[in-house]
Amino acid sequence: MKYKIDWNFKMKGKQAVLFSSDWLDGELALQVGQYLEKSGKAAEIVFSDEMGTEWTLKEMTKLLAEIEEEPHDVTVYFDGGFDKDSNRAGLGAVIYFNQGKKKYRLRANQLSHELETNNEAEYAAFYFTLNLLEELGASRMTCEFKGDSQVVLKQLEGEWPCYEESLERWLNRIENKLSQLGILAKYIPIPRKDNKEADKLAGQALEGKMINSKMQIL
């Protein structure tokens, strides 16, 4: 999650001037806020996140201490593969996140027998990542979702229309789950070559190799 700071700059004998910062990581935003307060030149320091929620300096300090032990700084890679001959779909997901002072990677896949097209498999893979995020306890945050399916990402973003009923159902399920988790999604299309981990997991699911692993990374 990124945070912005608004504050009034105080000048003796003159009207206060309102300043706003760029979007900052939580730890840096808190450090800047603390510096502003100690300077004695700032008043009415307010922090706001990308969802529009606001905090005072005291509330921001408490918030960051609470979320430090929760999953944060989450980046998700997803991919879906569809086998027309067997009408089976492989779903692959890779999730990078921080928790405490450590960084982790979660790799998981799933086999589905209920889908009919490759686009539907891509939607199902995205929804699969949301279930994994829910199991991790990730909520009330911004998450980046990266995939090589322009159709899914552009439709979720609202840039492309969705005319197929089967995809519309997946889109609604995803939007409801995002709302339930309090996740602000950022959709980032990437080339297929940059999505190799998730693609491999989807392929392994079609081969019957099921994976669900979490490991600390450097």
Q: Please enumerate, as own/partner, the contacts of 34-43 that have beta carbons within 8 Å and a separation of 24 or more.
A: 36/5, 36/7, 40/10, 41/9, 41/10, 42/7, 42/8, 42/9, 42/10, 43/7, 43/8, 43/10, 43/16
42-66 residue pLDDT tens: 888 999 888 788 888 888 888 877 7
pLDDT of residue 26: 82
pLDDT of residue 39: 87
Tell me which H or E stretch contains 100: none
Instruction: Round to whole Å and give the CA distance between 204 and 91.
Output: 9
Q: Is 202 left (phi over 0), alpha (psi -120 to 50) or beta?
A: alpha
pLDDT of residue 69: 74
From 85, 144, 96, 84, select the one nearest 120 (Cα to Cα). Answer: 84
119-130 residue pLDDT tens: 999 999 999 999
Tell me the average pLDDT across 164-191: 94
Instruction: Round to whole Å and give the CA distance between 107 and 201.
Output: 8
pTM across the whole model: 0.80
Q: Does 16 score more than 90 pLDDT?
A: no
Tell me the average pLDDT across 196-211: 96
pLDDT of residue 92: 97
* CATH class name, domain 72-217: alpha beta
85-103 residue pLDDT tens: 888 999 999 999 988 788 9
Sequence-ordered alpha helix ranges (H) in the chain: 26-39, 57-67, 118-136, 150-157, 165-181, 196-206
Q: Cβ(7)–Cβ(19) under 8 Å?
A: yes
Q: Does 218 score more than 80 pLDDT?
A: no
Q: Cβ(79)–Cβ(45) under 8 Å?
A: no
Mean pLDDT for all residues in the chain: 90
Q: Which residue intervals of the chain bear CATH 3.30.420.10?
A: 72-217
Instruction: Round to whole Å and give the CA distance between 114 and 123.
Output: 13
Provide the residue type at 201 as one letter.
L
107-122 residue pLDDT tens: 999 999 888 899 999 9
130-154 residue pLDDT tens: 999 999 988 888 899 999 999 999 9
Q: Which pair of tokens denotes residue 194?
A: 């940059």
From 55, 79, 52, 81, select the one nearest 67 (Cα to Cα). Answer: 55
Instruction: Round to whole Å and give the CA distance between 4 and 179.
Output: 22
Q: Which pair of tokens denotes residue 119?
A: 């686009």
